[in-house]
Amino acid sequence: MAEAQIRRILLPSGADLEYTLERKNVKNLNLRVCPDGSVRVSASRRVPIREIEAFLAGHEAFICRARNRFQERPQPTSLQYVTGETVSYLGRPLELQVVPADKDRVYIRDNRLILELRAPENAALRERLLNRFWDRECWTLFPEILRECYPLFRELGVSYPTLRVRSMKSRWGSCLPAKGIITLSKQLLAAPRGCIEYVVVHEYCHFLHPNHGKGFYALLTDRMPDWKARKAVLNGEARPADQ
| pLDDT single digits (tens) 157-167 | 999 999 999 98
**Residue 1 scores a pLDDT above 70:** no
Task: Give 102: exposed, middle or buried? Use CB within 10 Å, 0-12, 13-18, 19+.
Answer: exposed
Lowest-pLDDT range, 48-57, 73-82, 89-98? 73-82
Q: What's the one-letter identity of residue 209?
A: H
| Residue 168: per-residue pLDDT | 82
Q: Write the CB contacts of 75 (distance below 8 Å, at least 6 apart in sequence).
A: none
pTM of the model: 0.69
How many whole angstroms separate alpha carbon 82 and alpha carbon 140?
Answer: 25
Angle between helices 123-149 and 193-206 (to 10 degrees): 60
| Residue 50: per-residue pLDDT | 93
